[in-house]
Amino acid sequence: MGNTHSRGTMSDNNKDVSMIDVRNTNDNDKRGSQRAIVQSFSKLDIGDHDGSRAPLLRRRSTLIFDDDDDAPRHEENVEDQSDLNEFESHISDSSSVASLQQQQQENPSWLKLQAQREQQDQEQQELQLQMEQQQQMKYQAPREPFEDQSGSRSGSEPPVNSNAKVMVPVEITWQQGGSKVYVTGSFTGWRKMIGLLPVADQPGCFHIKLQLPSGTHRFRFIVDNELRFSDFMPTATDQMGNLVNYLEIATPYESEEHLQQQQETLTVDNESHMLQQQVPQPSHKKQFSEPLSARSKLALQIEEEPDDMGDGYSRFHGAKEAKPDLSYTTDIPAVFTDASVMEQYYLTLDQQQTNQQSMAWLTPPQLPPHLENVILNNYSVSSEQGDSGSENNSGSLPIPNHVVLNHLATSSIKHNTLCVASIVRYKRKYATQMLYSPLQ
Partner 1 sequence: MTESVSLEQQLAVQSIRRFLKSKTSYDVLPVSYRLIVMDTSLLVKKSLNILLQNNIVSAPLWDSHTSKFAGLLTSLDFINVIQYYFSNPDKFELVDKLQLDGLKDIERAIGVRPLDTGSIHPFKPLYDACCKMIESRSRRIPLIDQDEETHREIVVSVLTQYRILKFVALNCRETRSLRRPIGELGIITEGQLLSCNMHTPVIDVIQLLTQGGVSSVPILDEQNRLVNVYEAVDVLGLIKGGMYNDLSLSVGEALMRRSDDFEGVYTCTKNDKLFTIMDTIRKSRVHRFFVVDDSGLLVGVLTLSDILNYILFEEN
Give me the residues that bind partner 1 (CB under 8 A), please: 1-7, 216, 218, 226, 229, 231, 235-243, 246, 269, 375-376, 379, 381-383, 390, 393-400, 415, 417, 423, 426-438, 440
Specify the residue, 352 or 433, whose C-beta has the smaller distance to partner 1.
433
State which residue, 139 or 379, has the beta carbon closest to partner 1: 379
131 to 126, 312, 368, 407: CA distances (angstroms)? 8, 24, 11, 21
Is 316 or 430 the residue whose CB approaches partner 1 more closely? 430
Q: Give the Cα separation of 173 and 209 in Å (integer).
A: 9
What is the smallest separation between the CB atom of 192 and partner 1, expressed in angstroms?
A: 22
> 317 vs 429, which CB is nearer to partner 1?
429
Strand ranges inside 213-288, DSSP E = 215-223, 226-228, 235-237, 243-249
At 76, give phi and psi (nearest 5°).
-55, -45
Smallest distance, Å, CB 65 to partner 1? 22
Residue 126 Cβ, how far from partner 1 at the closest point, in Å?
Answer: 37
Q: At what angle do helices 81-93 and 67-78 cross, to 10 degrees?
A: 120
384 neighbors 10 (Cβ within 8 angstroms) = yes
Q: Supply the minimum distance, in Å, between the C-beta of residue 140 and partner 1.
A: 25
Rounded to a whole number of angstroms, the minimum distance from the CB of residue 400 to partner 1 is 6
- Please state, in angstroms and rounded to a whole number, the distance separating the CA atoms of residues 161 and 28: 26
Buried b / exposed e over 156-180, threshold 16 CB at 10 Å, is ebbbbbebbeeeeeeebbbebebee
User: Going by C-beta distance under 8 Å and a sequence separation of 6 or more, which residues neighbour residue 418?
Assistant: 410, 411, 436, 437, 438, 439
State the minimum distance, in angstroms, from the CB of residue 345 to partner 1.
33
Nearest CB to partner 1, comparing residues 37 and 399: 399
Q: What is the Cα 337 distance to its own chain's centre? A: 27
- 284 CB-near residues (< 8 Å, 6+ apart): 309, 310, 312, 313
Q: From the CB of 111, what's the least distance to partner 1, in Å?
A: 24
Rank residues 53 and 220 by Cβ distance to partner 1 and give the closer one: 220
DSSP letter (8 states) at residue 206: E
Question: What CA–CA distances, in Å, run from 321 to 207, 262, 270, 283, 286?
Answer: 51, 19, 26, 19, 21
* Least separation in angstroms between CB 169 and partner 1: 23
**Closer Cβ to partner 1, 157 or 311, answer by number:** 157
Residue (359 or 431) nearer to partner 1, CB: 431
Q: Say if residues 381 and 389 touch (Cβ distance below 8 Å).
A: yes
Q: DSSP E strands: which ranges in 200-330?
A: 206-212, 215-223, 226-228, 235-237, 243-249
How far is residue 117's CA from residue 319's CA, in Å, rounded to a whole number?
28
Indicate the residue among 4 and 251 with the shorter CB distance to partner 1: 4
Name the minimum Å distance from CB 368 to partner 1.
21
Dihedral angle of Cα 102, 104, 108, 109, to the nearest 10 degrees: 20
